């Protein structure tokens, strides 16, 4: 059984493509376990802006996943710390996370691990930064008083324990975060930079997201994925082959039918 960690709304296009594959009979989630990365505290599970509602409305109810295998933090638990500890234990009992799929914020945050979060943190209760509350107000009719101020979230260390990580980054508004993630050093003020120390991470991005990167950086990674760049030297060919194989393996993460999902991104 494969274990997948999902992060909120960023992979919405990914969810739609997976549903499409499922409905065509080419993909099953019967033996997949999922762990969502965060949930608001104090928001009813059936609230339209809860991550529980979001995942069920946009993904889970459209596929054949066993509801008992879809794990989402309970932001209304009587003991929130116990809920966080139990979530970590469930991940451990499942054998760990095979693949983490998620996005980042413009400030480089992963889940609700905002700037300044410990890079070895585990699932915990977090007070949300004012910038996050302001950004989320659009989902609550612009009324700041309705926006949750706390959330449960997996830690950076929790995500780093995943065997593979795929981060989806789109749009010019996230270009500086991608630059910080790739071209500068590991920094707790940019939590996405922690993945520089992960052995199997891939960033999937569009052209706009690369606007802050050096031209040679973009050319290097494009060359690693394009067969046209092969053959220039044995070292370059080997690097390109390894990188491309890693890329294809990561987007082929549902192995029930062993079919590559190259159209996901």
Q: Which contiguous run of DSSP H or E holds residue 150?
A: strand 150-153
Which residues neighbour 125 within 8 Å (Cβ) at sequence distance 6 or greater? 41, 80, 81, 84, 150, 151, 152
Alpha-carbon distance 75 to 87, whole Å?
12
Positions marked active-site: 38, 107, 109, 114
Rg (CA), the chain: 19
**Residue 172: how many CB atoms within 10 A of its CB?**
14
Helices 234-251 and 215-225 cross at an angle (nearest 10°) of: 80
Are 18 and 63 in contact, with CB atoms under 8 Å apart?
A: yes
Alpha-carbon distance 89 to 87, whole Å?
5
């Amino acid at each position: 059984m494969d274990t997948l960690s999902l992060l909120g709304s960023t992979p919405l296009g990914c969810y739609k493509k997976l549903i499409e594959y499922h409905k065509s009979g080419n993909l099953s989630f019967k033996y997949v376990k999922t762990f969502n990365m965060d949930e608001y505290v104090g928001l009813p599970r059936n609230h339209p802006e809860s991550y529980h509602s979001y995942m069920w409305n946009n993904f889970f109810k459209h596929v054949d996943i066993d509801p008992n295998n879809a794990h989402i933090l309970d932001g209304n638990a009587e003991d929130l710390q116990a809920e966080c500890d139990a979530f970590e234990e469930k991940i451990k009992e499942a054998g760990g996370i095979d693949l983490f799929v998620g996005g980042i914020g413009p400030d480089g945050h992963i889940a609700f691990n905002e700037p300044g979060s410990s890079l070895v943190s585990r699932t915990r209760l977090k007070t949300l930064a004012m910038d996050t509350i302001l950004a989320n107000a659009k989902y609550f009719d612009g009324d700041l008083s309705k926006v949750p101020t706390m959330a449960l979230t997996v830690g950076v260390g929790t995500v780093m324990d995943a065997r593979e990580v795929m981060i989806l980054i789109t749009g010019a508004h996230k270009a500086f975060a991608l630059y910080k993630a790739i071209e500068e050093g590991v920094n707790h003020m940019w939590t996405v930079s922690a993945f520089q120390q992960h052995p199997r991470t891939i960033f999937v991005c569009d052209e706009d997201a690369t606007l802050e990167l050096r031209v040679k950086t973009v050319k290097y990674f494009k060359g690693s994925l394009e067969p046209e760049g092969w053959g220039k030297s044995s070292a370059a060919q080997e690097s390109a082959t390894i990188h491309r194989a890693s890329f294809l393996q990561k987007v082929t993460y549902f192995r029930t039918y062993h079919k590559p999902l190259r159209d996901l991104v």
